[in-house]
Structure 1
Amino acid sequence: MTSASDTQGHTTHPHPARLALTIGAIGVVFGDIGTSPIYAFRTALALTTADGAEVNEVLGVLSLALWSLIIVVTVKYVLFLMRADNHGEGGVLALTALARRALGARSVIALVLGASGAALFYGDAIITPALSVLSAVEGLKTLPGAGHMFGDDLILFLTIVILLALFLIQSRGTAHVSKLFGPVCILWFLAIGALGVYHIADEPSIVRAISPYYGVMFMATHGQMGLFVLGAVFLTVTGAEALTADMGHFGRGPIRLGWFALVAPCLVLNYFGQGAFVLNAVEAANAAGRPVGDQDWFFLMAPDAVRPWLIVLSLAATVIASQAVITGAYSLTQQAIQLGLLPRLRIRQTSATQAGQIYLPSINWMLLAGVLTLVVQFRTSASMAAAYGIAVTGTMVVTTCLAYIVVRHVWGWSRAKAIPLIVPFLFLDLIFFGANILRVIEGGWVPLVVAAVIGFLIYTWVRGRGIVRAFESRQSVPLADLAAALAKRPPERVEGTAVFLTANPDSAPGALLHNLKHNKVLHEKNLVVSIRTADRPFVGPEERTTGKIIDDNFVTVVLTYGFMESPDVPSDLGLGANKAKKVLNPALTSYFIGRNTLKPAADQGMPLWQDRVFMFLQKNASDPTDFFHIPPGKVLELGEQVTV
């Protein structure tokens, strides 16, 4: 479901379509940030309530949360970063592609930033389902008259069952049930907003927290503890990256409309309501001469008769938020593959009508393993919350740096204009990142380890592919020279068409040279085909295929795809099942693919141990016949030994 947009990324949806996209965006884009009230305010406040909460502490924490939503989400993401789009597409890798095009020969820095942001995203992708679903299930402990039945072990068991079910249904696709995401999330936001209004009336003075004075004074008077609280406060804005990452699916306008018309007001009202509820509890506790400890404020603020329904609704909302993150991991992986950061992986389309509905089995099972490990290891949402912020803040730092490149080199702003705009955002991101780094020992190491592993795999793959390409370049022969030589001394000719896939259409593919050397034959027609990935998400049909006739024997063809598209070589060569597009006879066509045998060497290329990692990635990459949609019975693989 791709939005129509002009070259500046401005949406052009008619009113009914805009409303439908806004409803869809509320269900997908805002799931993560929309479920933060379940645990964010409680986690931040719990750090200050060991010796009993005070009124100014409640106001201070609430003020920090509100201004985080205003500055980070509204100003930075909704008003600024959503303008820095790549042909309507957002997200860290879309910005990377845009920045690399702008920097040209200096694009290595953009590639490093993009790879770092992608690596950190996977850390976020395993924590979001674990934390959000576990925090919702923990609401069962607050059931009036039945909460004592739900001990930690039962809560853990129910969480694992829900998460297993969520990941097991991924292969079936979510095209049908996703239609419910929007209405369910709208109900969720209305419910939490209403709960907030219900309790604001009990303590109207809570609106004082909108003043930044209370947040500033809290930080000034709490020293290092203030930084720990700030790290926890950041949980209120986790999920902000989704606003730009899903721009290509819904468009800038519907996402902004959903934020300002529903999501932001309901979040603010709920946080105000939680703050008022806590202030009431503080006053009652002070009157009774006892301290206020850590409690599940979000669920307790619901009346007893309403609480069971709120728990059910929160479970639905957290499952939807988890689904959005899982889908985001699939989409990011597809982009990373197309941009050459990861090896080819098996990608399955789960919907005949929606191109964005994809399923990657390997990513699904890796995410599930990570999620279950987190749940079993941390056991409670309170202990897991410490692990959440680092990955998200790290990604935000990367996004801000990429945004500077876009503003400076794509928009053409001078340093005098770009630096005053970017530096405040970067400064705030670094403060949040530093506050979260303080919690590394408590669990923040988890996303860092995940990001380090993914980053190492990306580095190994990119470096290894560079070594292989350098070898192939040294062995290559210009296609024009080969064509001239074959014209003088023609080999034996055989009937049919040969399609040779290669990275460089100007050089004779290795498979072609091996076929001539060993089989000593040349087909009647020979297509030298190269696959290119554009620096934009989608490429129109008119730009898909470009060809060049070398001579009567050879034609070079370049197929260009966007970084969010899946290649379909036979169809775009006129060899697919679509009769209207059929140009060549599929029955008389053979595909030749170069597949070199890798040989590790301690004294060349990468270290020996890294060679073996690269060989493992190469060996387990998806078969090119699957990735390029080539009929498996029509493929011949030829190659030679390459030392890496």
Structure 2
Amino acid sequence: MMTHSSTHESNSQLPALMLAALGIVYGDVGTSPLYTMKEIFHGPHAIAATPENVLGILSLIFWNLILVISVKYVLFVMRANNNGEGGIMALMALALRHRNQAKQRQLLIALGLFGTALFYGDGIITPAISVLSAVEGLQVAAPSLHMYVQPITITVLVALFLIQSRGTAKVGAFFGPIMLTWFVLLGFLGGLSIAETPMVLEALNPLHGLKFFITHQWHAFIALGAVVLALTGAEALYADMGHFGKKPVEIAWFLLVLPALVLNYFGQGALIMRDSHAVLNPFYLLVPESAIYPMIGLATCATVIASQAVISGAFSITSQAMQMDYIPRMRRVYTSSETKGQIYVPTMNHILLVLVILTVLGFGSSSQLAAAYGIAVTGTMMITTCLTLIVALDSWQWRPHYAYLTVALFLLVDSAFLGANFLKIPQGGWFPLLLGCLLFLLMHTWRRGREVLTYHLQEAAISLTGFISRLKLKPPLARVPGTAVYMNSRSLSMPHALQINYTHNQVLHERIVILTITTEDIPFIADNQRLNIDQLAQGFFRVTAKHGFYETPNVPKILELCSSKGLNVNPALATFFISRETLIPSDEPDLNPWQEKIFITMFRNASSPIQFFKIPAARVVELGVQFEI
């Protein structure tokens, strides 16, 4: 059986996967030339457009593309793939795997959850700033069109979110050729400008970046808050790795994306060295006047694709968080029968759309959003670095001094970028921080509430083996024909639905299957390793089905797999019993009053287990039970 990873990376699929990866993974970082240089030289903390400053900024951009994206993410962090899957939740699962001390686990979980919350913030800001920056090209071509920028941006964003249900494979296949054209043009336009001012290539020397810091000191540190815009999309790159595999993503970066970005940034720098007024919008001023409108159209398409990178990443992170029980269940749709990592989450798609539109209306322009952008990106980057250190020590068995030295270099860069962006909190940096704290609060509250609910369920539970033993002494009034399947979260205890059913009706089915579904800290599990079946007395069977944190359990398929182990259950004829817990506030709550209200609200709005586990609705009997928390 071919593994998930090897399926992704088979040589026959490599060109197609690389092209699709351009359309999904690299849209975000690929459109950063639209606004990065403009923000550095024309933003609220603008640097004077002197040749020395241009060389210094370009040197910083180039070497950070090399160090942060090429070395840190592509070569270092992407090694921390959890059976082919990336993203901060998968990374957190890897970091937790060998850490058993409670305090260490709590710290790692807190880091992972806050990093996830910041990534969602990135997923909201990226579509807003990317599409706004492209449509703002209309102001370069015709300043009178300024009033149409926001309406056009919102229209484009609505269209983008509406096509998400088609899946990343189809979206990527459509977007890939567009992004290929985009990167080729980035390199071509940049190359033409460099040919006019070849001295700009001196910026490849890192001493220019060092000289820039020595000359400007505090102002240079502030400028890092805009330089980091060139690195946006690095975290989405890692989160989207599972959609296409590690190898296509790596090759596409080094073969096309990195050279195109470097050429375009240096081309913009060359233009600014020739004409300092080009800082108003150096990207569009690189374009010949006759081609400005087609370029605006292509840039708008490219920024839509940039948004796709973080949207796909948000779906991946959401799926992982649901399986690891950090957020309520939501309906998931797998959009490919061949690639497990391609997934669509309708509820998250709708939430992101609403928040993105509100962000566009609230900030109004890409320049105002630029201040908000950096903190979400740099905060997530720093947390990723810290979690990868744990993985390097525990899973990769790196020597401590080597691991600490490597990570210290990355943290030095991350902390510099983060510190520079903290200075932008009054100008908009508060937005991702507020959003991140809110999302962290919701995830932490859900996790804590689930722990409290589990405690109450365990207290109310009785031993399954003890119940079966008592049946010998006091049999039920009747054993009705057929098979009953009881869903149970704990394999050794008696399901509450069975307890309620037997107490009230005093009857049992001839055959009873107790089904427990567990989630492991790996993304996928092979079918031949999924099931464990124990035959108990009195017609009882205990089935434990393991799933990876990236998989959606499918009860009918689980029962079909049972036939290979000698337990034949027809899902169309079985009766499924599910307990429906109703939570009510307690006079002596286990949660804080505000946590209690939040958790009960989230619990009531969670997706039904019938839908989530794909249980045939016509065969379900729900039995209610109340709990005070």
Q: TM-score range by the shorter chain?
A: over 0.9
Q: In structure 1, what is the Cα distance between the partners aligned to 2:565 and 2:313?
A: 35
Aligned partners of 2:125 and 2:463: how far apart in 1? Answer: 50
Q: 1:575 and 1:540, CA in 2 relative to 1: closer, same or farther beyond 3 A?
A: closer
Q: Kindly report which structure 2 residues correspond to 1:86-101, keeping only aligned pairs within 5 A, or say none.
A: 86-101=82-97
Structure 1 match to 2:522: 536
Paired with 2:437 and 2:454, the residues of 1 have a C-alpha distance of 25
Q: What pairs with 1:72-87 in structure 2 (closer than 5 Å)? A: 72-87=68-83
Structure 2 match to 1:289: none
TM-score, length basis structure 2: 0.95
Matched, 1:374 2:359: yes
Q: Which one-letter code corresponds to 1:60 in the other structure?
A: G
The alpha carbon displacement at 1:121 in A equals 0.8
**Is the contact between residue 50 and residue 293 of structure 1 (CA under 8 Å) also seen in structure 2?**
no
Amino acid at match of 1:494: V
- Partner-residue secondary structure (3-state), 1:305: helix
Q: Distance in 1 between matches of 2:541 and 2:60?
A: 63
Q: Counterpart of 1:108? A: 106
- The equivalent position to 1:457 in structure 2, one of 433, 437, 442, is 442
Cα distance change, pair 51–103 in 1 and its aligned pair in 2 (3 A): closer
Return the match for 1:149 from 144, 150, 160: 144
Counterpart-to-counterpart distance in 1, 2:368 and 2:440: 26
User: 1:318 Cα shift?
Assistant: 0.8
Q: Residues 382-428 of structure 1: CA distance to partner in whole angstroms, max 9, x if unpaired?
A: 11111111111111111111111101111223422321121111221
Offset at 1:50? 5.7
Deviation, 1:348, is 3.0
Alignment check: 8 A CA contact 2:240 2:309 kept: no
**2:37/2:279 contact within 8 Å kept:** no
Q: State the partner residue of 2:537.
A: 551
Deviations 1:419-461 (A, max 9, x none): 1121111221111111111111111111111111111111110
* Cα 1:251/1:586, change in 2 over 3 Å: closer
How far is 1:580 from its partner?
A: 14
Q: Identity of paired residues, percent?
A: 44
Structure 2 Cα separation of the partners of residues 318 and 442 of structure 1: 24
Q: From the superposition, tell whether residues 317 and 407 of structure 1 become closer, same or farther in structure 2 (CA, over 3 Å).
A: same
Question: Which string of whole-angstrom CA distances, capped at 9 and with x for unpartnered residues, describes residues 11-37 of structure 1?
Answer: 7522x3222222222221111000000
Shift of the 395–52 alpha-carbon distance from structure 1 to 2, 3 Å rule, reads: closer
Change (3 A) 1:620 1:67: same
> What's 1:361 paired with?
346
1:338 aligns with 2:323: yes
1:336-385 CA distance string (max 9 Å, x none):
00011001012234455554443323212211121111111111111111
Please show how residues 64-213 of structure 1 align to structure 2 within 5 Å. Answer: 64-106=60-102, 107-143=105-141, 147-151=142-146, 153-173=147-167, 175-213=169-207
Cα distance change, pair 69–484 in 1 and its aligned pair in 2 (3 A): same
Shift of 1:561: 1.4
Aligned to 1:27: 23
Instruction: Give the CA deviation at 1:97.
Output: 1.1
In structure 2, what is the equivalent of residue 615 of structure 1? 600
- Separation of aligned partners in 1, 2:3 and 2:366: 37
User: Is contact 1:99-1:110 (8 Å) kept?
Assistant: yes
Pick one of 449, 465, 483 that aligns with 1:497: 483
Equivalent pairs counted in the alignment come to: 625
Equivalent of residue 251 in structure 1, options 238, 245, 248: 245
- The normalised TM-score by structure 1 is 0.93
The aligned counterpart of 2:297 is 312
The CA deviation at 1:49 is 8.1
Equivalent-residue separation in structure 1 for 2:468 and 2:46 (angstroms): 80
Separation of aligned partners in 2, 1:581 and 1:372: 54
Find 1:235's aligned residue among 229, 233, 240. Answer: 229
1:410 maps to a residue whose letter is S
- Pair 419,250 (structure 1): closer, same or farther in 2 beyond 3 Å: same
Which amino acid counterpart does residue 432 of structure 2 have in structure 1? P
Asked whether 1:509 is paired with 2:495, we answer yes
Contact 1:36 1:238 in 2 (8 A): yes
Decide whether aligned partners of structure 1 residues 4 and 479 sit closer, same or farther in structure 2, where only a CA change above 3 A counts. Answer: closer
- Answer yes or no: is the 8 Å Cα contact 1:49–1:293 preserved in 2: no
Report the Cα distance in structure 2 between the residues aligned to 1:50 and 1:465, rounded to whole angstroms.
Answer: 49
Find the aligned partners of 2:485 and 2:45 in 1 and give their Cα distance: 69
Q: For 2:198, give the aligned amino acid.
A: P
* Residue 170 (structure 1) shift: 2.8
Q: Which residue of 2 aligns with 1:5?
A: 5
* Structure 1 residues 488 and 368, CA gap change in structure 2 (3 angstroms): same
Cα distance in structure 1, aligned partners of 2:47 and 2:13:
53
Q: CA–CA distance in 2 between the matches of 1:360 and 1:243?
A: 19
Paired residues of 1:46 and 1:293 also in contact (CA < 8 A): no
Question: Equivalent residue for 1:588?
Answer: 573
Instruction: Please give the root-mean-square deviation of Cα atoms over the aligned residues, in Å.
Output: 2.3
Matches of 2:590 and 2:530, distance apart in 1: 36
Listed as ranges, the gaps of 5+ residues in structure 2 are none
Q: Deviations over 1:17-76 (max 9, x none)?
A: 222222222221111000000001211122488685222111121111111101100111
> Which residue type is aligned with residue 233 of structure 1?
V
Pairwise CA distance, 1:589 = 1.2
CA drift of 1:257 comes to: 0.9
Which shows bigger deviation, 240-249 or 451-460?
Answer: 240-249
Judge conservation of contact 2:31–2:303 (CA < 8 Å) in 1: yes
Alignment of 1:241-320 (within 5 A): 241-282=235-276, 292=277, 294-320=279-305
Offset of 1:573 from its aligned partner?
Answer: 0.9
Distance 2:298 2:92 in 1: 37
Question: 1:127 deviation in Å?
Answer: 0.5
Pair 1:18 & 2:14 matched: yes
Could you say what secondary structure the match of 1:574 adopts?
A: helix
Does the Cα contact within 8 Å between 2:559 and 2:571 map onto a contact in 1? no
Secondary structure of 1:150's aligned partner: helix
Matched, 1:605 2:600: no
Contact 2:129-2:369 within 8 A present in 1 as well: yes
- Alpha-carbon spacing, 1:535–1:253, altered in 2? closer, same or farther (3 Å): same
The CA deviation at 1:579 is 13
Output the CA distance in 2 between the equivalents of 1:19 and 1:582.
44
Q: Deviations over 1:599-633 (max 9, x none)?
A: 21353211222211101100000011000001112
In 2, Cα distance between the equivalents of 1:125 and 1:77?
18
Q: Which moved more, 1:102-111 or 1:428-437?
A: 102-111
The 4+ residue runs of structure 1 with deviation greater than 6 A are 578-582
5+ long unaligned stretches in structure 1: 283-291
Residue 484 to residue 123, structure 1, CA distance change in 2 (3 Å): same
- 2:413 aligned to which of 409, 414, 428: 428
| Residue correspondence of structure 1 range 46-65 to structure 2 within 5 A | 46-47=42-43, 52-65=48-61
Give 1:161 deviation, angstroms.
1.1
Residue 32 (structure 2) aligns with: 36
Q: Give, as a single letter, the amino acid of the residue that structure 2 aligns with 1:35.
A: T
CA distance in 2, matches of 1:253, 1:141: 40
- Rounded to whole Å, the distance in 2 between the matches of 1:57 and 1:41 is 12
Say if 2:217 is the partner of 1:220: no
How much does 1:321 deviate? 1.4
Indicate the SS of the match to 1:86. Answer: coil
* One-letter amino acid of the structure 2 residue matched with residue 71 of structure 1: L
